[in-house]
Amino acid sequence: MKKLSKQEKHEQCMKEIKSTLLVVALCCLWHISTAFLLNGTGLTFLGMPAWLSVSVFGTIILALLGVWFLLKFVFVDFEYDDEEGGDQL
């Protein structure tokens, strides 16, 4: 577990928040864009319309890859409690 100063903890939290929001935005963009682009093509995949299959399954795969990336390269294990906090009830 890393020892970070209060400022470093804040910066790390902001980095994690921004990175997570980026992954969510990419998943939403993929889901919506593939649904609109493949809608009306008449293609099917696994017995379902291609827009549904590619949009849903692609979003699941993209989300799993995004979570793996975040855990591997962005998130840091640190204690968020204040050491110099004094008495706490």
Distance CA 41, CA 35 (A): 11
Tell me the per-residue pLDDT of 44-76, one tens digit each, with 9 for 90 and over.
988 899 999 999 999 999 999 999 999 999 999
pTM of the model: 0.84
Instruction: Report CA torsion sign: 63, 67, 72, 74.
Output: positive
Pairing of strands 48-49, 44-45: antiparallel
Yes or no: say if 11 and 78 are a contact pair by the CB < 8 Å rule: no
Length of the chain: 89
Tell me the per-residue pLDDT of 2-54, one tens digit each, with 9 for 90 and over.
888 999 999 999 999 999 999 999 999 999 999 999 998 999 988 899 999 99
Distance CA 81, CA 3 (A): 11
